[in-house]
Amino acid sequence: MVDRDRDEQGRARSNRPRDGLGRPRRHGLAGVERVPDDLRLAPLPSLGEAQRLLDAGRPFHAHEVLEGTWKASPAAERDLWQGLAQLAVGLTHLARGNPTGAATLLRRSADRLAPYAGAAPYDVDVSGLQGFALELADAADAGEVTAAVPPPRLRLPQTHDPVGT
């Protein structure tokens, strides 16, 4: 029997290659680039990288980025980051053909984000994300999600005043 790869705490890790939706592939097969297990980005870079991955159709990997930030965030922000990570997992379940799991995680995401509505740090579009998650959960429950879902925008649109007026 082959010993499993383990982290510093002795927990088993899977070093198998993964497909674009995070599913493990057999050893020796090509996979997509993985998010490092120890990745801990600051909030704004985390949101930017997660958005890039969502836009590329890789919600599982966006979840990995957001999870790293969640685990490193101050207690007052943990539910925000966990809610964002759950949103990405819900999208992952949907893309993998699991509408029941998707609906469950999308609703959890909306609930976890609720305390931040109206005063979300980092310009996270909490209200928009909650609406997106709940509408998509209802559609998944009704069997109405038949095509790829456009990724949500994690942050509110930025307004810039280039001339300083």
CATH code where residue 97 lies? 1.10.3450
Q: In the prediction, which pLDDT does 70 show?
A: 93
Reduced DSSP (H G I as helix, E B as strand, rest coil) percent helix, strand, coil of the chain, to 5: 50, 5, 45
Residue 38 in any domain: the answer is no
Number of structural domains in the chain: 1
Whole-structure pTM value: 0.81
Token code pair at residue 16: 């198998």
Q: In the prediction, which pLDDT does 145 show?
A: 86
Alpha-carbon Rg of the chain, whole angstroms? Answer: 17
Instruction: Report the chain (165 residues): mean pLDDT per 10 consecutive residues.
Output: 59 62 63 65 94 94 93 94 97 93 97 93 96 97 86 83 46
Q: In the prediction, which pLDDT does 135 show?
A: 97
Residue 128 in any domain: the answer is yes
Work out the number of other CB atoms within 10 angstroms of the CB of residue 39.
15
Q: In the prediction, which pLDDT does 48 show?
A: 96
List all residues 6 or more positions away from 76 whose beta carbon is below 8 Å from its beta carbon: none
**Whole domain around residue 97: which residue ranges?**
43-141
